[in-house]
């Protein structure tokens, strides 16, 4: 299981604003080049985001489904990986003074990816999450100064 956290220097509502905007999914999810709402109303339970990942000349289109949505504290997603199965991605948003602690927990849920899961893969997922949380923080913090006037 890969768990990673980051302090975002904005209030929880600002973090939630970025997470609830389906068109911004590609802004913070590592590897995603493009995203679109594919079904339902993101991030309501059952809603789906379609996305495109491009690695060199290869392109993959996938989808992510919202399984739990508890604004503005919790968003749980199931990322579908085709024949590989799926992964559960849980995002917790916790107030931390004037800032927000964001925690991401991901692990294989269905399919063959779970049978290949090991500590080495967890290390790679940890690195991906570190980058993803950095991207999320930049997307949130780029909105400008905090409501109290601090930067």
Please tell me the pTM assigned to this model. Answer: 0.83
pLDDT of residue 67: 98
Instruction: Let me know: does 111 contact 83? Beta carbons within 8 Å.
Output: yes
Q: Where are the domains of the chain?
A: 2-141
Q: Give the tokens for residue 54.
A: 């491009």
Instruction: Quickly state the pLDDT bin for 116 (edges 50, 70, 90).
Output: low
Task: Tell me: pLDDT of 148 over 60.
Answer: no
Nearest partner of 36 among 70, 61, 68, judged by Cα: 61
2-141 to CATH, choices 3.30.530.20, 3.40.50.2300, 1.10.10.10, 3.40.630.30: 3.30.530.20
Q: Give the tokens for residue 42.
A: 């993101």
Q: Report in angstroms the alpha-carbon separations of 137 from 39, 54, 83, 116, 118.
A: 27, 23, 32, 31, 28
For 75-101, write each residue's pLDDT tens digit.
Answer: 999 988 777 788 899 999 999 999 999
Compare 137 and 55 and report the one with higher pLDDT: 137
């Amino acid at each position: 299981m890969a768990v990673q956290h980051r302090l975002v220097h904005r209030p929880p509502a600002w973090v939630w604003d970025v997470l609830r905007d389906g068109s911004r999914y590609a802004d913070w999810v590592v590897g995603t080049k493009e995203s679109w709402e594919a079904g339902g109303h993101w991030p309501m339970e059952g809603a789906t985001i379609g996305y495109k990942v491009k690695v060199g000349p290869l392109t993959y289109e996938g989808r992510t489904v919202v399984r739990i949505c508890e604004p503005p504290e919790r968003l749980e997603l199931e990322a579908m990986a085709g024949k590989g199965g799926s992964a559960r991605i849980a995002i917790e948003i916790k107030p931390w003074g004037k800032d927000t602690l964001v925690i991401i927990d991901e692990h294989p849920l269905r399919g063959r990816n779970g049978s290949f899961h090991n500590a080495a893969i967890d290390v790679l997922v940890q690195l991906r999450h570190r980058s993803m949380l950095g991207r999320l923080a930049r997307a949130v913090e780029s909105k400008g100064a905090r409501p109290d006037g601090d930067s």
